[in-house]
A and B are shown apart, each in its own frame.
Chain A
Amino acid sequence: MVGEPLIRIRDLRKRFGAHEVLKGVSLDVHAGEVVSVIGASGSGKSTFLRCVNVLERPNGGTMDFEGFHFDYEEGARRQPTPAQLRDLRARIGMVFQSYNLWPHLTVLENVVEAPIRVKGERPAEAREKAEALLARIGLAEKRHAYPSKLSGGQQQRVAIVRALAMQPRLMLFDEVTSALDPELVGEVLGLMASLAGEGMTMLLVTHEIGFAREVSNRVIFFDQGVIAEDGSPGDVLRQPSSERLKQFLRRVLHEDAYHAAPAAPLLGGRA
């Protein structure tokens, strides 16, 4: 890709105590790119995602995003201030594995809270936009329901809409289908695919190799705290160059096959 990247990360490092989780990660993401981050658990991929919006404060490296320049080096003068962090996060949407909707607020209240009180939108306008978004995902009639009354898939789609209501420039997805019952995964992936189709810039940590292959235009393989492979889905997933990635893909694709298996009755009787 040519031109200025939307986000530029250089030599990002993060450690928890003595354990170094990210050992120097550099990545450019251009507007409109859909980047899937794959890797074994413990490879640092979720930590990396959480460093992008500084839910985890990196211990070193730099990041550029829409005019922000942060230097996370210990003692650096360009450490983000609290106000800068709020501004940054208001422009980067994030969706979590466990949805994290606020249980004491209705669906609509969940969606309009940040647009009204962080961005300062007029309540009527924010509500109108939120209702339009909810209608788009087919949950308009649930707008006054509390999250506990929704299925996991519905909750996760509301969580996506809640992030979208801030009109973010970049969306982060942290294993957003891992906590879902298998039959609910599709509706969430479907929404993400349509977002990707509309040109949203997305960075997603996922175990859904099929989704990474079909929807993203770039796949990154994390291994032991560094980016081990980076390329188009065709290159990275069909012709993995490293033995570690081959092993990883064998393991997860094997799991995929396992999940697909119950469709055919093994012992007869229970179809």
Chain B
Amino acid sequence: MLDTITRWWEGFAPYVPGFAAASGLVLVLSVLAIVVSWACGLLAALGKVSRFAALRRVSEFYIWFIRGTPTLIQIFIIYFGLPQMGLRLSPFVAGVIALGVNGGAYVAEIVRSGLSAIPKGQMESAQALGMSRWHMMSRIILPQVFRVILPPVTNEAITMVKNTSLLSTITVVELTLYSQTIIATTFRPFEFYIATALIYLVMTSLISQAAGQLERYYARSL
């Protein structure tokens, strides 16, 4: 028994630094893509309630297109398609943009639903006390929105981490592509894919844990 475990570990050991680097890349990709997705999502959410019909159209089209097409195809359009239009991006940059633009459509919907979940009276009581719009949004409305949208935002972050594995198809050597390259030489897909899955699981579980802590913190006012 001990013998088996030792042999397993010996099989793994040479690849630990590689796995660590690939996992680090997953985290970097996820964080950057999440930042991009929030920028896109907030813009689209604002666009959707804009006074200008053209902006509303653009936002609606964006959300409709992204949510109705496969993420993988969106990645291919940006990495393989755009060079034909004269825009050549590195796999890393194309990956961050593709995942960010993709996540933005979902963030837009989350923000919109969060805003509409806040009763109108919350804004009226703030306005009635003479608050500026900025003061009202930053101190009264958005903190409440944030609490409401925390669960779907958590899901989005988890989805983002998992979606980075799609970038293996455009030669970003993140966790999935790294394990594939090892398997190509070791011929041990079972162990290495399981190990890869476990690493993703650790990352997503940590996100869930952190969100749970935050949720409990916010629940103090319920």
Contacts and interface: CB of A to CB of B under 8 A. Distances in A.
Interface of A: 53, 55, 82, 86-94, 96, 98, 100-106, 113-114, 117-119, 146-148, 159, 162-163, 166
A102 B135 contact: no
Contact of A118 (B129, B218, B221): B129
Interface string B120-134: 011011111111110
B131 A102 contact: no
A53 B144 CA distance: 25
B152 interface: no
Contacts of A103: 144, 221-222
A119 B135 CA distance: 13
Contacts of A106: 221
Contacts of B125: 94, 96, 100-102, 159, 162
Interface of B: 119, 121-122, 124-133, 135, 139-140, 143-144, 147, 218, 220-222
Contact of B221 (A88, A100, A104, A162): A104
B132 to A, nearest CB: 6
A113 B220 CA distance: 19
Contact of A90 (B121, B129, B139, B147): B129
B130 A102 contact: no
Nearest to A148: B222
Contacts of A87: 130
A102 B122 contact: yes
A86 B121 contact: no
A55 B131 contact: no
B132 A100 contact: no
Contacts of A94: 125, 128
B173 to A, nearest CB: 44
Contacts of A90: 129-130
Contacts of B144: 102-104
A31 B124 CA distance: 25
Contacts of B221: 103-106, 146-148
Given A113-B139, A146-B220, A148-B221, A100 B131 contact: no
Nearest to A147: B221
B122 A117 contact: no
| Secondary structure dominating the interface of A | mixed
Contacts of B128: 53, 55, 89, 92-94, 96, 163
A28 to B, nearest CB: 22
Contacts of B220: 146
Given A103-B144, A104-B144, A104-B147, A96 B124 contact: yes
A89 B121 contact: no
9 contacts: A82-B132, A89-B128, A91-B130, A92-B128, A100-B124, A103-B221, A117-B131, A119-B130, A147-B221
B124 A55 contact: yes
B130 A89 contact: yes
Contacts of B119: 98, 100
Contacts of A166: 129-130
A89 B129 contact: yes
Taking each of A53, A86, A98, A104, which has the highest tally of chain B beta carbons within 10 Å of its own beta carbon?
A104
Given A86-B132, A96-B121, A100-B121, A117 B127 contact: no
Contacts of A55: 124, 127-128
Contacts of B222: 103, 146, 148
Contacts of B132: 82, 86
B139 A89 contact: no
Contacts of A104: 143-144, 147, 218, 221
Nearest to B123: A100
Nearest to B121: A100
B164 to A, nearest CB: 33
A89 B143 contact: no
A94 B128 CA distance: 6
Contacts of B135: 117-118
Nearest to A54: B127
A147 B144 CA distance: 14
Contacts of B124: 55, 96, 100
A114 B130 contact: yes
Given A104-B144, A118-B131, A119-B130, 9 more contacts: A82-B132, A87-B130, A89-B129, A89-B130, A100-B122, A101-B125, A118-B130, A162-B125, A166-B129
A103 B122 CA distance: 9
A82 B136 CA distance: 14
